[in-house]
Each structure stands twice: as structure tokens, then as C-alpha cells.
Structure 1
Amino acid sequence: RSIFKPGKRIGIVVPELEKYISLLKRELSAELVPNSIFKPDEQVFNISLALPLSQEPMIKVAIDLLNIKSATITINKFLSFIQSPFLGFAYPPSQEISDLERKLRKRRILSISLDQFESTYGNIPQIKRLVEVLRSWVSHKDLFTLSPYENNLLPSEWTEKISAVLKAFNWPGYSKDSTSHQFVLSKRHQSFETWKNCLNQLSSLNQILGPINREKALEYFTNIVQNTPFQIKTPEHSIQVVGLLESSGMQFDHLWIMGCHSEALPAHPEPNPFIPYEIRNKFSIPRSNSQRELEFAEQSLKRLIVASPDVHCSFPLHEGDMDLEISPLIKSFPNIDKTNYLSKRIKDHILTLTDLEELTEPEFLPATDTEKRLYSTEGISSGYALLKDQVECPFRAFARYRLNSERHQIPEVDYDNLDRGNVIHKALELFWFDTVDSDTLLELSKDSLEKQLKRYVREALKICSIRTTNQTQFNNLEIERNIRVIHDWLLAIELKRPSFRIHKLEKSISINLAGIKLLLRIDRIDEIPGKGLLLIDYKAGRDAKPTEWFAEKIRSPQLPLYSMDEPPAGLAYGHLVIGKPEFKGTTIPDFPLGQFKNHDFKKITGCSSWEELLKHWKTRLNRVADEFLRGKHTVAPINKGEPCRYCEFDSLCRVQETLETWESD
């Protein structure tokens, strides 16, 4: 930028251009054309390397559509279709599309059935058309007559089918009548023209291939697209970014040779193992040996030095964790003093402004009347999570429940820890629904117990993990594992408990705190004869800590919240892990529970009675709910940012700068 003048040619030579092309494009755009963050097509430089046509987003969408082979489609791919402007969908997505995406994510499914889509997920006209075309394509039916077409067709006939189905998909998402100069130069138009050339190549294979099936036609066509380079045609720019080989014969007014480190200049040889050693050396095949690469690097440098009156070389000091050194070929070049140029990035300019506006953010943004009415009537599902978020970081509760910005992550695998926990919960529910009390448990023989557990776990797996229905071998392994987990728990804990009977299983309740209706579900309530009720919450994952009930801020409000529905005589975590099940919590004095680790609430909290402890919890939890309604939303994670480790709102609250300060302290 400092040396640029109209009519002057500036060259940037990069020895490993294919490796750094994305990085170069981003950094050069940010520095030379800061406005490109708003107008991506606005550039002042050319990059000579042409990437495969298949890497263009518009083309990738088309290839993905054509290669769908069944009526079951992965959820990630489906979402990419209904949010793609290349298929005529609006960006940002419409409210209907956003609601559908949220619904699909909440269901935690990996794939959807096109045949059942309309009955399951509603009728959005634009998506209905997409699904109809997809169904006809995967079933090998004509789009208009719906009659099956022949399995084997000539490549030219397949090009017609491909074009017809993409047109029905509204691809590539723009009007073909546009003839403006700007449109003709656009990247989308040029991609489409190159795509049509690829179709022509497929058609030209009629005499060679003859009639072929659709899978073969798509295989050949995909291969053509992947091997077709695409370089967008742009007006001639003064700044040219080229590779070491492409720079041959070019002349510049100013030249910058970057990446001149010892690992790239000369390059390491990569001989082809399928070419005999003698032939590689005799014909000096590129990348065949070190001597050849050294000679090529020396010749290239000599050529570049005379290609411009003003040549600058540079090299990086580090790449990842590896320290780099200057190439021995340029060590003799004179060094120049480093000059720090002001950044032209938009974000850097904002940071350097001296007249920044000073903004004092209010600590509280009270809930509106509409929000209060919603919270008090419809309520909040799994309401304990709201209180937990408000305690751990007020901004997290604000973002999730006031801004509705919760991210529902699509499972990466078809069976994860959440599924595993749900299966254990459901299996225990089914077991205790039939077993009823400790006497019935004691009457079960070892064989009978194992048979029952196998039946309940198998049933629970069917209910809680539909995604693994057809994975027989995996399901058998998971059934065996869960049987062992529950069996260990029953032997180590339940069979050693004094008499009890099941009072309630999976009881749904609602608690009103400060005008907020919290919807909750208690895993299990036991009745201890002559003593009272025991609330039990199963934990199959991380270690649960009853001490968090007694802290100044209650980080685990679940069981204390449950105690407000029907006053119990004790609260307990049932921690189910292989080899080390635990039963722990807090109770009234002289409450018989067998192998139970009791946390004495009198010593920890100072409360003189159980009733005082329940009242203390109610007061604290009401205070947290009221704090949420009053709109406290400060970014204030407890324990020096511990909740931030797995929080999805870090990019929204930008807490990282604060955490770095804490770590340095």
C-alpha cells in the first residue's frame, strides 16, 4: 500500500502458494480492501492459483444434491440445503426456516426421512417443493410424469436429467435473464458457465461409454468437476500473487518474495516411488532429488532478482510450534530495517480511534411485562437450569432465556453420553415401577435380577436411542454395559438399604419462584417407614457434589428445588458408575439409608434444624429468580471462569480477555 501508484505492477511470489492461498486471500483483503468484509467480490489483486471447480460453494451444493441416493438424508446436509441462497432460499433464513431448524436440532436426530417429512415437520411450501424433487430424484422417477425412467442412458441424456433436476431445485438461485455487465463478471455466473462446460464434457463421452446407469454417470461427472480448475475472470489488477513457477517471465515494478525459509527454499524432494530411480535422475523429474530442487530454487531466485528493480524477501520465524530459519540461498542478501506500517483493518482502526464513545452499560435490564407473563403462565422447562445459569454467570442465563440464543448442537455420533444417561434413567424407572419396594428386590434371585435388568435395559434403549435401532452388535454391547452399571448400583447400594418403598417415579412438578413457573421432574421419591420421604436424583456422568447445595450461591439447585414441592426428610444423589457407585446427600438426623455418605448440614450451614435448612434454600433460590427477573446480566462467571470451559456463549460475551487477565494473576 505504501509504494502503490497507478500503472505500477506489484508482484507477490509465494513458494508454497497452494498451502497458503486461503490465508493470503483473507489477509490481503483485510489490509488492501477493508471494505471487502461487506463486499466480498471487491478486490484489487489477482491470485494465479486456480482451485478445483468442486470447491466453489455453489457447485458443492449441486454435487451434494445430485449424489443423494436414498430417501434418508443427514440432518447437517438437509439444513445446508434449506439455508442455501443457491437453491433460492433467503439469507438470513426466514422465521419459518429458523423455527424448523430449531425443532430439528432439539430432537437430536442425525437424519430425516423424506417420505415422512411433511407429516412430521409441517408444510412449508418452499421446503415441500425441495423434498418432492429430492424424492423423485432418489426414486429414479421423472419430475413431471413421476414414471420411472430407464436405468441405463447415454451420458448426454444424463446431462439433460441433471440440468432438469437442478432447475427444479431452483439452482443456482438467480434469474437467467440478467444481462448486466456486473452480473456477467460475477463469480456465480462464471461458475455456472464453467459448470455447463463440464456437462458438455460428460456429453462428449457418448461414443466411449455408451449407455450407463446414474451412479456411473455421476461418478464420471463428479470426477470431471473435481479436475476442472476454476479461476474467476476479473479486471487486470496491479497486484499479482503468483507461485514460484508461474512467475517465470513476468516483470514487476516492485516484487515481494515471501516464505523464503529453509524448509521451502529449496523445497524438500518428494520422489514418485512408482518411477524408477534411474529414470528420475536421467530426466531430472521435478521433486525427484535434492540436487534438482536446489538448482531449481537457485535459477528461480536469479530470474526473480532481475524481474524487478525493487525486490524484497521475507520469511516467517515460526510455523505452528516449529521455529524456522532463513533460506541459505538468501543469507547473503542485505538486511533492511524493519518498518511498522499502520494496519488498514477496520477492527484495528476502531481500536486506535482517540474519540471512542464511552458507554456505560446498565447492570440491570428488567424483564418486560410480556416476558413476565410468559414465565408465569407457560413456565420454563427444566427450570433448575435457569437458576444454575444465573448463579454460575448471569449473562449466560440472560443469553439463553432472555435472548433465546441457545445453541442446540447436532450429535456428532448416533449415541453419546446424553443418550447413555437417558437409557440408565429409563431402565431404572421401568425396573422400580415393577419392583416397588426393597422387600421385592430382596426376593429376586441373581438370575432373575439379571434377566429383568436385561429386559428393562433393552426396552429403555429402544425408547431413548432410536438412532441405533438397526445396530444390533453395538446395542448388545451397550446393553451389557448398562446392565453392569445398574447391577453394581443395586448390589452395592440398594440391597444394603433398610426397608423402603417407591413413592413416585419421574414425578412432574411446577415450582413458582418470584413469579417464574419452573417445570421440573423428580427422578425418584422413596418412602422410608416412620421417617419420611427421600428425594433421589440419578447421575450417570460427572461426579455430583452435595456440598454445592450449601454454598452461598447454590450451584446445583435441582434437589433443593424439588424439596419445595413436598417437604422431604432427605436429599440424595445416586451416582451410577462402573465399579464405584455412590449414594450421598443430606438428611434429617437418624435417617437409615445403609451405604450412604451423609453431609451434616448443621456443621456446614449453621442451620439448627431441617426446617430451617429448607427455608434457607427457599429464600436463596427466590433471591436468584428475582435477580433474573430484575435483569442482572453482567458477565461474571464464578470461580475465575470455571463455567466458561464448556459455555457456548463465549463469542457473544467475549469473556476471553477477562479470563486471560485472571490466568496471568
Structure 2
Amino acid sequence: FSLGVPLSSLPIISAALGLLRFAWQRQAILQAEIAQLLHNVYWSSSLRENDARAKLDARMRQDCPLSLTSHRFISFLHHACEGEYALGLPDLLADTKALMDVAQDNGRFASPAQWAETFTTALEVTRWQGERSISSHEYQAIESFKNVLQQLLSLAPLIGKISANEAIKRLTQLCKNKIFQPERKSQPAIQVMGMLETSAEPLDAIWVMGMNDHVWPPITRHNSLLPAHIQRNTKTPNASSEVQMAFALAIHERLIKSAAQVTFSSAEKDGERKLRTSPLMHGIPELASKPEISLTLAESLAQASTRDWQWLDDNQAPPVKPGEHVGGGTGLLKAQAICPAWAFYQYRLNAKRLGEPVNGLDVMERGS
């Protein structure tokens, strides 16, 4: 994306903010948020304990309520690492406890500078960034996050001492406002741009998508704080359909002259609703044939190879071995009729759907 994305939307930064919220939040946390942290690769021994984390998530869905406090989760995690069916999560348990110790020792009001230092320590004890080597983009995101922490320091003269939750809220907002665009050594082959963006260099080709009449020209959007007739008379942006048409025509003319090859496309349907093309496309000739679809990686490798490829038809499951028993009775026949793939997963691989956490008794426990 040519304009970049909010820093908070990057997975490695989202993991850091999620860990901080988990540590200092005193109210109950939804299981979905805890599960998201469990499956995140950017902290603790995420690679070595990946399978055990998934089993912990499945067990948590079954044994825990819909939401639980961080301290209750620690107790649940400690219990899951003991006994006959203990999960191998020593690093997760140690790093989570270390994170909660930092939060417990720093739970009072403090200045933004103190919170920035505390948050850095909290992420260090959880081994934020994970086990694997980070990419260039992730490294740049981490450096940008450090700069945001420095921005948090600049708020000290304005807000004084604040609570941890307020500091995390301010830090999250700063990350949302920070637009991250990684540096590149060369110009990217493909850029995703908005209608109002322009490229500093000539483009080989442009593909403009979504040219439907309900999208382009943009619909009228009056400013609710000003009288509508004044906006129309002064031709302010978004004031009337005439203003929007003039605006769209100007953008349209610029797009046509921005590259040697310009393609406009529109959607035919939105679900069951048929869509119409934008009126600005009526004077543009249609393509004689549909554009070629890019080959997949497998197809590209097959064409470049000089050897004969062996094609394997694997739409049939392996046959049942002699002496192998497949249970299920009529349930197997019903599942096979509805979805053969799911019947194979359930009765041959013994795969089960993850349970949905609920507060109190679920439907099976309540009965009819």
C-alpha cells in the first residue's frame, strides 16, 4: 500500500499492545482475546510450544467461562502444566508469570516516562518478538514502536501522572495514528493506491477497480453542521451530485493520462443484487477478450521444468486397512451424505470441532 497502514494493525505491534492490556486489565477478558495471544508467534517460545498452546486453547474453551481474569488464567495455565495430562508449556508459564509480576509491581499512577520504561521491561520479560528471526519490515516496525514510546514521554507536561490502563490507551491511540510505511531498496512492482493518490514516476499500467454507479461518482454527503443550501450554493465538497460529478471527472481524466495502459473494471453482482457500471465508463471501449489470469506457483514451476510431472488424483481417501475399525454407525452415513470431507476428518482422523466457550451451562449440559 503506497500510503502505508496504521502501526497498530501490524501483527508484531498488535501482539505487544495485547500483552500490555492482558497484564494490566483487572476486569475479565474474553477468551477470544486470550486465544489470540496464545496463537501469536511474537512472544515467548511460540515455535517450540505451538502445539501445546493449541491444546491449551481447546482445553480452555471446554473448562473455562466465556471471560476470565488474567489471574484466573494464570491459575488455569499452572494447573494445565501439572498432573497426568500435563501440557508442555514451561516457557509460556514462566513468561506469563514474569509479565504479571511486572504489572503487580507497577500498578499505581506514574508519569508517561515511567510507564514507557515499565512497558519496555514487561515486553522484555515475555521475550517479545518471538523465537524466529524477524524480517526487515518487522524490524522497522519495532523501531517505529520505540519512537511511539518516545512520543508517550512528550505527554508528561500535559497529563501528569496517569494509570496503567490510561497509559496503554494513549499508547494504542498513538500507534493507530502512526502510519507505517516500510522502506524499500527498490520500487515495488505493484502498488495498491487510492483514487486520490498519484505516483511520482510514470506507471506502466493502471487497473482501476470497483467502477460501479453507487461508488463512482461518490454519493453526496452533506456536512451536518452547516445548512445544506449554503453548501450547494458555494459548491463545497460533497455538497451536491453536480459537485461530485465534476470531482469524479477530474480524477477520471487524470487516471486516463497516468499510464500507457489503463483498465477500468466493475463488479457484476453483490451477492444476488445486480450492479451497474459507473456512467463515466460508458465512453470506454470494452476489452475484446478477458485478461489472462496469472499462473499459480505450481503452474509456473511446472512450465519451467524440463521433467515430466506426475499428477496424483487424491480426491479419494485411503482405503480402510484390514482389521481397522471405523465407528460411527448411522452418524457416519449421515456425515458422509452431508459432507464426505467432514466425515473423513471426524471418523477417520478423529478430528473434533473446537468448543464455543459459554457462561454457565451450555445447551448439551442443560438438556431439552
Task: State the TM-score, normalized to the length of structure 2.
Answer: 0.80
2:331 is equivalent to residue 389 of structure 1: yes
1:87 and 2:43 correspond:
yes
Q: How does 1:418-433 map to 2 (within 5 A)?
A: 418-421=364-367
- Is 1:272–2:272 an aligned residue pair? no
Give the one of 222, 226, 241 matched to 1:290: 241
Asked whether 1:225 is paired with 2:167, we answer: no
| Contact 1:82-1:89 within 8 A present in 2 as well | no
Name the counterpart of 2:160. Answer: 210
TM-aligned CA distance change 1:109 to 1:92, over 3 Å: farther
CA separation of 1:323 and 1:99: change in aligned 2, threshold 3 A:
closer
Aligned partners of 1:263 and 1:327 also within 8 Å: yes
Deviation, structure 1 residue 397: 6.5
Select the residue among 308, 311, 314 that pairs with 1:356.
Answer: 311
Q: Distance in 2 between matches of 1:303 and 1:408?
A: 52
Percent identical: 25
CA distance in 1, matches of 2:287, 2:171: 52
Candidates 121, 141, 161, aligned match of 2:104: 141
- Call closer, same or farther: CA 1:397–1:239 in 2, change over 3 Å: closer
Q: Which residue of 1 aligns with 2:75?
A: 116
Q: Is the 8 A contact 1:72 1:114 kept in 2?
A: no
> What is the alpha-carbon distance in structure 1 between the residues aligned to residue 61 and residue 6 of structure 2?
33
What is the CA-CA distance between 1:108 and the residue it aligns to?
5.8
Deviation track 1:98-119 (CA, whole Å, cap 9, x = no partner) reads 4433433343642451352355
Of the candidates 312, 315, 323, which is equivalent to residue 263 of structure 2? Answer: 312
Deviation of 1:258 after TM superposition, in Å, equals 2.5
C-alpha contact 1:54 1:225 (8 A) present in aligned 2: yes
SS of 2:191's equivalent? strand
> Match for residue 59 of structure 2?
103
1:295 to partner: Cα distance: 0.9
CA spacing shift, 1:420–1:268, aligned 2, 3 Å:
same
Q: Are the equivalent residues in 1 in contact too, given 2:38–2:57 (CA < 8 A)?
A: no
Alignment of 1:434-473 (within 5 A): none
> 1:390-429 to 2 correspondence within 5 Å?
390-393=332-335, 399-400=345-346, 402-411=348-357, 414-421=360-367
Q: Distance in 1 between matches of 2:190 and 2:263?
A: 15
Let me know the Cα RMSD of the aligned residues.
3.4
How many pairs align?
A: 347
User: C-alpha separation between the residues in 1 aligned to 2:296 and 2:211?
Assistant: 26
Q: Which residue of 2 aligns with 1:129?
A: 94
Deviations 1:13-54 (A, max 9, x none): xxxxxxxxxxxxxxxxxxxxxxxxxxxxxxxxxx22422222
- AA aligned to 1:131 is T
Kept after mapping to 2: 8 A contact 1:400/1:406: yes
Distance 1:187 1:286, change over 3 A: farther
What is the correspondence of 1:558-573 to structure 2 with a 5 Å cutoff? none
Query: How do 1:468-479 and structure 2 match up within 5 A?
Result: none
Q: 1:263 aligns with which of 214, 226, 229?
A: 214
Aligned to 2:129: 172
After superposition, where does 1:11-50 map in structure 2 within 5 Å?
47-50=1-4
- 2:136 matched residue in structure 1: 186
1:640 alignment counterpart? none
Q: Tell me the alpha carbon deviations over residues 486-536 of structure 1, each in whole angstroms, 9 at most, x when there is no partner.
A: xxxxxxxxxxxxxxxxxxxxxxxxxxxxxxxxxxxxxxxxxxxxxxxxxxx
* 1:314 CA displacement: 2.0
Partners of 2:107 and 2:122 lie apart in 1 by 16
CA distance in 2, matches of 1:109, 1:348: 48
In structure 2, how many angstroms separate the alpha carbons of the residues matched to 1:238 and 1:52? Answer: 22
Unaligned runs of 5+ in 2: 83-88
**Structure showing greater relative contact order (alpha-carbon pairs closer than 8 Å, 6 or more residues apart):** 2
Q: Map Cα deviations across residues 116-141 of structure 1 (whole Å, 9 max, x no partner).
A: 2355322532122233134335xx42
Residue 293 of structure 1: how far off its partner (Å): 1.3
Residue 310 of structure 1: SS of its match in structure 2? strand
In the TM superposition, residue 393 of structure 1 has moved relative to its aligned partner by: 4.2
One of 109, 113, 116 as aligned partner of 1:152: 109
Find the aligned partners of 2:5 and 2:99 in 1 and give their Cα distance: 29
Q: CA deviation at 1:278?
A: 6.0
Mapped to 2, the partners of 1:351 and 1:267 lie a distance apart of 45
Looking at structure 2, the residues matched to 398 and 307 of structure 1 have their Cα atoms a distance apart, in angstroms, of 53
Structure 2 CA distance for partners of 1:264 and 1:94, relative to 1, 3 Å: closer
Q: Output the CA distance in 2 between the equivalents of 1:237 and 1:150.
A: 46
TM-aligned CA deviation for residue 269 of structure 1: 1.8
Question: How far off its partner does 1:221 sit?
Answer: 1.5
Distance in 1 (CA, whole Å) between partners of 2:206 and 2:329 is 61
In structure 2, distance between residues paired with 1:97 and 1:265: 47
Q: Which has the larger radius of gyration?
A: 1
Q: Is the 8 A contact 1:71 1:115 kept in 2?
A: no
Quote the offset at 1:160 in angstroms. Answer: 0.7
* 8 Å contact kept, 1:87–1:173: yes
1:165 Cα deviation from its structure 2 partner:
0.6
Counterpart of 2:149 (choices 164, 175, 199) is 199
CA displacement 1:543-593 (0-9 Å, x = unmatched): xxxxxxxxxxxxxxxxxxxxxxxxxxxxxxxxxxxxxxxxxxxxxxxxxxx
- How many Å separate the matches in 1 of 2:77 and 2:261? 66
SS of residue in 1 equivalent to 2:42: helix
Unaligned 5+ runs, structure 1: 1-46, 143-148, 376-384, 422-539, 541-665
SS at match of 1:419: helix
Q: Distance in 2 between matches of 1:411 and 1:418?
A: 13
**1:114, 1:131 within 8 Å by CA — same for their partners in 2?**
no
State the one-letter code of the partner of 2:75. Answer: Q
Q: Which letter maps to 1:356? A: W
Cα distance in 2 for residues equivalent to 1:115 and 1:303: 58
Contact 2:15 2:37 in 1 (8 A): yes
1:246 maps to which residue? 197
Question: Matched residue of 1:67: which SS?
Answer: helix
Determine helix, strand or coil for the equivalent of 1:304: helix
Find the aligned partners of 1:406 and 1:215 in 2 and give their Cα distance: 38
> Is 2:58 aligned against 1:58?
no
Question: Which one-letter code corresponds to 1:269 in the other structure?
Answer: T
Residues 579-658 of structure 1 mapped to structure 2, 5 A cutoff: none
How far 1:266 moved relative to its partner? Answer: 0.7
> Is the 8 Å Cα contact of residues 48 and 242 (structure 1) preserved in structure 2?
yes
CA distance in 1, matches of 2:332, 2:204: 61
Would you tell me which structure has more strand in proportion to its own residues? 1
Distance 1:355 1:151 in 2: 66
Name the SS for the 1:312 alignment partner: strand
> What TM-score do the two structures reach when normalised by structure 1?
0.47
